[in-house]
């Protein structure tokens, strides 16, 4: 039987180095695991402090959100108020415009879109109107360039007792009042059924 030869010295040194490196690695790993396992747990005071800080942060965020919502609501109210005020101003301006546009026929009865009339008081009759007279004041939007006349009925009680007719023979410009005189009948006490002729 042949004797077993020992491995060369270089091989033994190499194996020894590998073993040492493995041992160091295992020792280092065990130390890391040991250190992780030894990490101290949080104390109740620390847990309470962290919870309190989180609650404060949440409360602050809630306050900021609430203030933002309040500002948004206030801005919406301000916009609505401004819009309502603008609408009121526009309505008032339109009403003033309509009043000004219609001022020229205020107090008149409307016969149609062009002719308006009323019966003025305090007018005197012409000398030839021996039985008295009636007066009708006429104003028009577009004028009566050729002829302006007024017809009416004279009443005594409920019966018509006379026809009334008067004219100025020359017409009237737009928005210019003209008074037409109607000669009264001796038996008449009221005049009605007024109709303006505008040509």
Q: Looking at the predicted structure, is the pLDDT value of residue 32 above 90?
A: no
Question: DSSP H helical segments within the chain, as ranges?
Answer: 9-37, 44-102
| pLDDT score for 189 | 81
| pLDDT score for 145 | 95
Sort strands 148-156 and 159-167 into parallel, antiparallel or unpaired: antiparallel
CB atoms within 10 A of CB 191: 20
pLDDT digits (tens, 9 = 90+) for 160-188: 988 999 998 889 999 999 999 999 887 77
Q: Looking at the predicted structure, is the pLDDT value of residue 16 above 50?
A: no
Q: Return the structure tokens found at 92.
A: 């008032």
pLDDT digits (tens, 9 = 90+) for 64-113: 999 999 999 999 999 999 999 999 999 999 999 988 888 999 999 999 99
Task: Convert 162-178 to b/e letters by CB count within 10 Å (16 or more is b).
Answer: bebebbbeebbeeeebb
pLDDT digits (tens, 9 = 90+) for 117-169: 999 988 999 888 888 899 999 999 999 999 999 999 999 888 998 899 999 88
Residue 85 vs residue 13, higher pLDDT: 85
Q: Of 2.60.120, 1.50.10, 2.60.40, 1.25.40, which CATH number belongs to 109-198?
A: 2.60.40
3-state helix, strand and coil shares in percent for the chain, rounded to the nearest 5: 45, 25, 30
Residues 6+ apart with CB under 8 A from 10: none
Bridge partners of residue 167, in order along the sequence: 149
Q: What is the DSSP letter of 147?
A: -
Sort strands 178-183 and 133-140 into parallel, antiparallel or unpaired: antiparallel
| pLDDT score for 5 | 58
Residue 3 vs residue 53, higher pLDDT: 53
pLDDT band for 52, please (50, 70, 90 cuts).
very high
Integer Cα distance of 4 and 118 in angstroms: 151
Q: Return the structure tokens found at 96.
A: 């003033």
Q: Return the structure tokens found at 197.
A: 């002729």
Integer Cα distance of 132 and 47 in angstroms: 112
Integer Cα distance of 148 and 171 in angstroms: 5
| pLDDT score for 4 | 53
Integer Cα distance of 156 and 102 in angstroms: 35
Q: Looking at the predicted structure, is the pLDDT value of residue 14 above 60?
A: no
pLDDT band for 3, please (50, 70, 90 cuts).
low
Q: Looking at the predicted structure, is the pLDDT value of residue 18 above 50?
A: no
Q: What is the DSSP letter of 165?
A: E
Q: Looking at the predicted structure, is the pLDDT value of residue 24 above 70?
A: no
């Amino acid at each position: 039987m042949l004797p077993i030869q020992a491995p060369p010295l270089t091989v033994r040194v190499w194996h020894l180095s590998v073993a040492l490196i493995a041992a160091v690695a295992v020792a280092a790993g065990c130390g890391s695991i040991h250190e992780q396992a030894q990490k101290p747990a949080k104390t109740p005071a620390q847990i309470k402090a962290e919870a309190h800080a989180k609650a404060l942060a949440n409360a602050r965020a809630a306050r900021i959100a609430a203030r933002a919502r309040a500002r948004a609501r206030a801005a919406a109210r301000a916009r609505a108020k401004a819009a309502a005020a603008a609408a009121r101003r526009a309505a008032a301006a339109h009403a003033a415009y309509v009043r000004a546009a219609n001022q020229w026929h205020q107090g008149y009865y409307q016969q149609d879109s062009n002719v308006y009339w009323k019966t003025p008081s305090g007018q005197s009759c012409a000398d030839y109107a021996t039985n008295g007279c009636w007066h009708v004041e006429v104003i028009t939007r577009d004028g009566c360039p050729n002829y302006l006349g007024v017809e009416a009925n004279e009443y005594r009680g409920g019966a018509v007792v006379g026809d009334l007719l008067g004219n100025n023979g020359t017409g009237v410009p737009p928005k210019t009042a003209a008074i037409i005189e109607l000669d009264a009948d001796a038996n008449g006490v009221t005049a009605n059924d007024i109709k303006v002729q505008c040509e």
